[in-house]
Chains A and B, each alone.
Chain A
C-alpha cells in the first residue's frame, strides 16, 4: 500500500510535466491541425536554457536559490518562447498553403535541426545539475517503507496547476483566448471577421513554447540530468497524453498527461522497467485505434 502511494505521488509529478508539454501539442493541433513534431525538442531547448541561465547566475554570484530560480524561469520561458516563435515563422508559416504532409515533414526537419544544434552547441554528454531543492516530508512510514513527498515534487505539481489555471483563464476570458478559440473553429472565418490569424498562431506557439520551457525547468530540477535527446521521448509521450485526453482540449491535455505519467510509473513499478517506453507507445497506438477522439475530445469530421 505504501509502495503504491509512493508510486502515485511519483506518477502525478511526472504526469504534470507531460501535461505541460502536451498543452503545446494540443493547442497547435487544435488551431492549425498539424502535429508540431519539434515541440519535444523545444522542451529540451527550454531545459538547456534553464541550465545555462542557472550556471550563469551562479557565476555572477547570485546565491539565493528562490531568486535564482525565479530569474531562470523568466529567462528560459522568454528565450524558449522566442525559439517557438522562430520555428513557426521559419518552418511552418510558409507552408500554410502547401500540401498535406509538407508541414509535418518540415517539423521533422526542424526537430532534427534543434537536436543537432544543441548537440553541436553544448556537446553530446549528459549535463548534471546538483539538487537545488532538497528536503521533503515523510507522510507515513511502515516499518519497511516510508512514503516521501519531496519539496520538488510539491513545487512541480503546484506550479503546473497554477499555470494550467492561469492558462485556462487566459483562453476563456481574454481577447487572445477568444481569438484562439475562433481560429480553432474555423481559420478562414476567423480571418474574415478581422482576427489577425498569423498573430494568433504565432502567439499560440509562443505560449506553448513558454509552457514547455517551464516543463523543461521542472524536468531539470526533478531529474537533475539532461541531454540533447530528452525531447524525443518526452515529446512522444506528451503527444500521447494530448491524444489520450482528446486533442484540442486543454483539460484533456492535463488529464492525459497525468494518466500517462501514472501508467508509466505504475508499469515500471509493477511490471518491467525495460518496457516502460513500449507501454507508452502501445498506449498511443491503442488509443488512436479505439478512441481516436480521446477522453474529452470531440470526434473529428473530415470535410472535403
Chain B
C-alpha cells in the first residue's frame, strides 16, 4: 500500500519529508513489493489451491498457480502505477473535472430528473415489443421504489436499517395472504399491506430506536432474519419454504385474460399478454413516483427537517427540543410503509412468493443502491438502481462476480465519495450559505 494515500490530518502522522517532484527513488517499488507480498499471502491458499468434491465424496485439491501469479503481478503493477501516477491523475482530474464538470452538472441537474421521468413514462411505448426490456424496467423501478423507501430511513433520518427486506416481506405476504384468503382485490390490499408493514416498523422501532446508530443496524438485521425465519417455519400460515401463491393483478377488476370480461375485450383491443406487463410497469412507476413525491414534500415539512437535523447531529437535536424517538419512529414507519407497498407489488407481479426472496442479501443490495446513489438523493437512487441492475444484466455471464464487485464498490464509495457516486447529500434547508454538510450551497437535487 503506498504510504502517500494516508490522510495528512492524522494526529499521529509520522514526520516524513515531502517528496520532491521529479525524484521518486525506490520507495514506490518497495511499497509495491510489499503489497505484492501481502497479496501473495492472502491468495496463496484461497486462490492458488482449489478444493472440489472428488468422485468418492472426499475433497480433492487442484492448483491454480497461474491465476495466483497473475493476481500477485496485478497487485504489484497496480500499486506501482498508483504511487507513480496518483498525484498526476488526481491533479488532472481535479483540474479538468471540478470546475467544468460542476458547471455541466449544474446546468443538467434541473433537466435530468424531468428527462428521466419522461423516459420512464415512455419505456412501454419504446420497448412494447420487447418483453425482456419491459421486465428489466419493472425490476429497476421496483428497486428504485425500495431505494426511495430506504432512503427515508437511511438517507434522511440517518438510521442504518439492515433489515429493510423484512418490511418488503411483510407487505408481500400481507397481500398474498389477504388476497388469497379473503378474495379482496389488489387495490384494497395495497394500503393494507402498507399499513401492516408500517405497523411492523412501528413495533420494531418502538423499543429499539433509543439505541446508538450501529447497535440499531445490528438489531434491524436481527429483526429481518427473525421475520424470514418465522415465514420459513410457520408452515400453517405461510406455507413455509413452499411459499404462497399471490393472485394476478387485474385492471380494476378486469383480469388480463382473453376472456369476455377481460381487459382486452372491455376496451376492444386484441388480447396480448403484454398488456399485463405494461400495466404492472405503470403500476410500480406510479407507486415509485408517489414515494418520491411524498418524500420530497415531507422534506419541506418540519418533520422532514427534523429527520435531516437528526442525521447531522442527534445531541443537538435533543437540545433543540426535538423528540428524537417519535421523529425516528415516523421515519421508520414511513420507510416501512413504502417497503410494504413495494412488497405487495412484488407479490402480484411474481404470482408466488417464498422466504427465499427476502434474505439479508436483498437488504444489502437495496442499501448498496442507496449508498452508491448518494444517501438522501432521490435522483441518485434512481440512477444507481438503473446502473446496478443494468450492470447485472450486462454482465450476466460473470454472475458470480457481481456481488463481489458491488461489495467492493460500497467500500470504495465510502472511502472516496462518501456522499455517493451519483449525487451529493445536501440538507434541504440551509441557514448559512456554507453549511457543514456540503461545500456547494445548493438546493438538494430532487
Chain A residues engaging chain B, CB cutoff 8 angstroms: 34-35, 45, 48-49, 51-53, 55-56, 59, 75, 78-79, 82-83, 86, 89-91, 93-106, 108-113, 115-123, 125, 127-130, 188, 191-192, 196-198, 232, 236, 239, 243, 272, 274-275, 277-278, 281-282, 284-285, 288-289, 292, 300, 302, 304
Q: Please report whether the interface of chain A is mostly helix, strand, loop or mixed according to DSSP.
A: helix
B229 contacts the other chain (CB 8 A): yes
Q: How far is the CA of A127 from the CA of B58 in the complex (A)?
A: 9
B45 contacts the other chain (CB 8 A): yes
Chain B residues engaging chain A, CB cutoff 8 angstroms: 1, 5-7, 9-12, 38, 41-42, 44-47, 49-53, 57-59, 61, 154, 158, 160, 162, 207-208, 210-215, 217-219, 221-223, 225-226, 229-230, 232-233, 315, 360, 364, 367-368, 371, 400-401, 403-404, 406-411, 414-415, 418
Contact A278 B418 (CB under 8 A): no
Nearest CB of chain A from residue B9's CB, rounded to whole Å: 7
Contact B225 A277 (CB under 8 A): yes
Q: How far is the CA of A97 from the CA of B418 in the complex (A)?
A: 11
Q: Which 4 A-B pairs have the closest CB atoms?
A: A109-B410, A112-B407, A281-B222, A113-B407
Q: How far is the CA of A108 from the CA of B368 in the complex (A)?
A: 9
Most B CB contacts (10 A, CB to CB) among A56, A118, A125, A196 go to: A56
* A-B contacts, 16 listed (Cβ < 8 Å): A100-B158, A101-B160, A105-B160, A106-B411, A108-B162, A108-B367, A108-B410, A113-B404, A115-B407, A121-B47, A197-B12, A239-B218, A274-B233, A281-B225, A281-B226, A285-B208
Q: A59-B61, A106-B415, A109-B410 are in contact. Are A196 and B12 (CB under 8 A)?
A: yes
Q: How far is the CA of A180 from the CA of B260 in the complex (A)?
A: 77
Nearest-CB residue, chain B, relative to A51: B51
Chain B residues closer than 8 Å to A96, beta-carbon distance:
7, 10
* One of A83, A93, A116, A289 near B407 (C-beta < 8 A): A116
Nearest-CB residue, chain B, relative to A118: B46
Nearest-CB residue, chain B, relative to A114: B407
Q: How far is the CA of A284 from the CA of B401 in the complex (A)?
A: 33
Known: A104-B217, A116-B401, A281-B226. 14 other contacts (CB 8 A): A34-B214, A79-B44, A83-B42, A86-B38, A86-B42, A106-B411, A106-B415, A112-B403, A128-B57, A272-B233, A281-B222, A285-B223, A288-B215, A304-B315
Q: How far is the CA of A209 from the CA of B107 in the complex (A)?
A: 49
Contact A79 B400 (CB under 8 A): no
Nearest CB of chain A from residue B193's CB, rounded to whole Å: 23
